[in-house]
Each structure stands twice: as C-alpha cells, then as structure tokens.
Amino acid sequence: MAYSKKVVDKFENTLNNPKAFNVGSFDPSELNIGTGMVGAPACGDVMKLQIKCEPQGNTHVITDVKFKTYGCGSAIASSSELVEMLMGKTLEEAKEIKNKEIVDALELPPIKIHCSVLAEDSIKEAIENYESKQ
Amino acid sequence: MNTQSTIYLDYASTTPVDPRVASKMMEFLTPDGEFGNPASRSHRYGWKADEAVEEARSHVANLVNCDPREIVWTSGATEADNLAIKGVARFYKSKGNHIITSKIEHKAVLDPCRQLEREGFEVTYLDPDEGGIISPEAIKSAMRDTTILVSIMHIHNELGTLNDLEAIGNITRKAGVFFHVDAAQSTGKVDIDLSSLPVDLMSFSAHKTYGPKGIGALFVRRKPRVRIEALIHGGGHERGMRAGTLPTHQIVGMGEAFKIAKEQMKEDHEKIKAFHTKFLKEAMKIEHAYINGDVDNKVPNILNISFNFVEGESLIMGLKDIAVSSGSACTSASLEPSYVLRALGRKDELAHSSIRFSFGRFTNEEDIDKTLSILHNVVERLRELSPLWEMHLDGVDLDTVQWNTH
C-alpha cells in the first residue's frame, strides 16, 4: 500500500485505542456542541466531527472534540489528525486550518487528498453549526 | 514485516507455486539441466526441451479432457483472452461484427472488447442476475444475425459463482456462434470436460493453480474447427497462433501444476469446502454481513462478503495480518467501487464494504480460526468508529438521509 507509516500508525492507534483518540459522540442538541457531518456512504466516506466550546473573552475556545468516521484508512487517519489539531484552539484559529496541514502531517498520497479536504469541510461545518446556536 | 506471519487468504489473486512444481521447473534452466530451445530441431538440447513441452501440453489437455493439439501456450490468461477474442473477431469479421459478453467479466475480457469496439465491432454487455449468474436466456435474446462470438467466464474471480457453460454453449452452437470461456479460476477447482462441453475456446492460467506466473494457455477447438488471427508474429510457433520461443521451464511448471491439480482436486476440494462451511457460519454471525454472489451456485474457495457500515479498505487495513482483497474503491486507482458488485445491484456502500476471502491448498484450520477471530474484532472496532453504524443503532434509515457530499 502506498500509505506512509504516519497514516498507518494514526489509523491503527485510533482503531486500537478509540477513547484516547477522541472517538465518540456528544449530544448534538446541547448548545455548547457544534456538529459537522460531511461525505456520503455511496462515496465511501462520511465524517462526523463534534466540537465542545466555551466562551473566553470575546471568542470561543474548543475544549473537547469527538469524531466518528466511516471511510478508508486515510479518511480515518485524517479525521484523527484534525482532532488533535483542534484541541484548545479558538474558533478563529480553527477556521484557519487548511487541508494542506493534514496532507503534510500524514504525508497523504495524491489520490487520498480528498480525505483531508473532507476533514477541513467537517470542521468548517461544525463551527458553522456551533455559531448558529449562539 | 515478515510476510510469513501474514495469513494468506488471497488464492484467487494468485497461488504460491507448489514446491513439487518449483523443483520440476529447476530442471529446465541451468547448464546441467534441459535448457534447450524447444524449437531447435538439430540437437538433443532442443529435442529434450520439446519433449518436456509436449509432455506438459498433455498434462494440461488431460486436466480438461481435450486433445493436446488444441492447447496453445500464452503468457497467461490475459493473453489467452486477448488471443481468443481479438483473434476470432478479426478472423471472422467478414461474417459479422457483433460480440456478446457480460458486465462482470474480468478486465482481460472487457478491455479487448472495448478495443474491438474502437475497430468497428459492436459489443453487448449483459447484466448478471443479482447472484452474479449470466442467464443463458439473456444470451439467447441478445443474439443477432451478425453475432460471431460470445465470451462468458466460468468461475467468477470476485464472487466464485459458476456459469452454466453447457446451457450457454448449446445456444451458441445452435446459432453457429463461437463460445469463449475465461476459465482462469476453474482449473483444479471443478471438473472440466471439453470432450463434451460445447465450448470453442477456453483460457487458462498457471498461477491460479499452484503453477508459475507468466504462463497460460488457450484451448482452440479443432472439431468443429475454430480459426484465429494471431496477435504476435515472429516464427510461426504454436501452429501459427502464437509466435515466440517457448519458455520451457514455465511450461513445464504449468504442466506439472495441472497434473497435480488432476490428482489432488478431490482432496483440495474437500478440505476447502469444510473451511468454507465453517468460515461462512462464523462470519455470518456478524450482524449485517451479506454474501455477494449466489451462495448455492459457487465454488467454496472464494467467499465475498460485505460488512455494512464499515468501509472495505479500512477493514483491510485493520486485518493487517491477513492478506485478502477488497472491492472497495479506495484500494483501486480509479476510486470507483467494484464494477462487479455494482452490476449485481448492490448499493454503493455495500460495494465499498466488500472483502474477498479465498482459500487454497496451503490454508489450514488455524488460519481460518485466527482470521475469524480477528475479523469479528476489527469489524466491531470499525463500527465503533463509524457514524453510519451509530445512526443505524439510533434507528435512522440511511437511505432517507440528505448527505452533504460537497
């Protein structure tokens, strides 16, 4: 397989230790939770990303993240990588995250770049959802 | 990683060479062996090599019950398929320009058909039924006055399903149309009797039957005679149907492998059938697992299962100590899910989640038990990771969800 060791390790660690890698769900109806779900089963990947935020000064900070991903190994690794990047970030900082950072961190092969795009979409949507509730 | 610690359940992709075959092949390579060119008529090196080639040809013919003169060596089943399809089409193009095949043939059949379409031929690609079987009636109704060739595989490489060659052949014979069969997966798995089967051309591969890669054969019937236009020219070997110096060691390997296949077919079959029964029973204890292909009309060495709510490539990555293959889009360069499973009418997500397990001569009970245990564990873990599984448990009908595909 053309995957880097980083993708394989990320995937395996997430699979073998889901709690430590923030696999799970928050109640999406809570006001301090933002949920983003992107992709489609027919396309082979669906990512659900949830952020828990709290107000801090004149912004909001991500205090916890949960995710679930259906997809190929690199889709799962991309979600997991994104989750790590999000911890403790303000929403403004989180909005700045680009898929390229995930590509670089995991050394994704060109054919799997869409996985990182999907991950970027999932955080955008989660933030949008959170902000709509405030 | 040491590949020996990985359980090999991908025999439908390729088999290891049987050690008995490998040692036989070694006799035809080195200076102290029979390394001669079988086409050399002027010395004993050539005669000995020729003798070995002809003995191997007899072993191949013997397994499928045909005349050795009806066997043409090729570089593999892909070349045999190309030679049969393009060879017949080009030779008989003055008789007609229509070919019938199916949507779930191997690419080695589909791609030559596409090539012939570019050359002005017309091709009908039949749909299989939901079990992966091509109905003889469908072939009958697709026949035209201009039909010259029908190409349908015997055992399906992804599903293990079996087509009824006799019923199809009776239709093609009646219509005066040639019938080609890709039988790459069949040798050593099921009996083939070409003395009674109404088949005109049949492709074989050595490396699916414990022989070496890089060698195969095409059966070309003599009575009633089939003629083909050669693809490769340069010396008139193989009765003008396939030029090129014969690779003696490869041919001897195929011959030995097919000889062993004949002797050991029953023993292999019984062992593998027991594994299949056990595997099926245990794997189907996993909720929402679906068998792809008609389970009542298939060989036991191939088992294709979809595990819903889990994507196939991630499942394969999870099953890292087991060598299997997937119909998942993500394992292919095209990112398209298996065209075979889609043609069966499987929903895309089930096509994405399919795994092909294929067992063989060197599979043992421990491999089966270990695989089953890992499989249960990994499917469960991936479902814990799957938002689709969560939605399913919450009672959401995934078909009614508006997906945000971007």
How high does pLDDT run on average in chain B?
A: 94
Contact residues, A window 26-85, toward B, CB-based 8 Å cutoff: 37-48, 68-76
- Between chains, do A72 and B310 touch, taking CB under 8 Å as contact? no
At residue A61, the pLDDT reads: 97
Decide if A126 touches B, using CB distance below 8 A.
no
pLDDT bucket at B348, cuts 50 / 70 / 90? confident
At residue B329, the pLDDT reads: 52
Inter-chain Cβ pairs, chain A and chain B, closer than 8 A = 100
Q: What percent of chain B stands above pLDDT 70?
A: 96
* ipTM for the assembly: 0.95
Q: Which long-range contacts (CB under 8 A, 24 or more apart) does A10-14 make?
A: A10/A76, A10/A77, A10/A80, A10/A81, A10/A106, A11/A73, A11/A74, A11/A76, A11/A77, A11/A80, A11/B314, A11/B317, A12/B317, A12/B320, A13/A80, A14/A76, A14/A77, A14/A80, A14/B385
Residue B110 CA to residue B119 CA, distance in Å, equals: 14
Q: What is the pLDDT of residues B13-27, one digit of tens each?
A: 999 999 999 999 999
Residue A130 CA to residue A50 CA, distance in Å, equals: 9
Q: Mean of the pLDDT values across residues B144-160?
A: 97
Least confident of A107-111, B33-37, B284-288, B303-307: A107-111
Q: What percent of chain B stands above pLDDT 90?
A: 88
User: Who's near B6: CB < 8 A, 6+ residues apart?
Assistant: B320, B321, B322, B323
- Whether residue A1 is predicted with pLDDT greater than 70 in this model: the reply is no
Q: Mean of the pLDDT values across residues B272-288?
A: 97
From A36, which residue of chain B is nearest by alpha-carbon distance? B404
- Whether residue B193 is predicted with pLDDT greater than 70 in this model: the reply is yes
The phi and psi torsions of B326 (rounded to 5 degrees) equal -130, 150
Q: What percent of chain A stands above pLDDT 70?
A: 99
Q: Which of helix, strand or coil describes residue A40?
A: strand
pLDDT bucket at B349, cuts 50 / 70 / 90? confident
Of B270, B276, B267, B325, the closest CA to residue B296 belongs to: B276
pLDDT bucket at A44, cuts 50 / 70 / 90? confident
Residue B299 CA to residue B270 CA, distance in Å, equals: 11
Q: Mean of the pLDDT values across residues B345-368?
A: 92
CA distance A58 to chain B (A): 31
Residue A23 CA to residue A14 CA, distance in Å, equals: 8
Of B347, B385, B405, nearest to A69 by CB-CB distance is: B385
Decide if A1 touches B, using CB distance below 8 A.
yes
From A73, which residue of chain B is nearest by alpha-carbon distance? B314
Q: What is the pLDDT of residues B324-339, one digit of tens each?
A: 988 655 555 555 668 8
Q: Which of helix, strand or coil describes residue B301?
A: coil
- Whether residue B404 is predicted with pLDDT greater than 80 in this model: the reply is no
Is-catalytic flag, A43? yes
Catalytic site positions of B: 330
- The predicted model scores a pTM of 0.93
H helix or E strand, kind and range, residue B382: helix B365-384
The structure tokens listed for B187 are 């040798």
Of B12, B33, B13, the closest CA to residue B252 belongs to: B33
How high does pLDDT run on average in chain A?
A: 94
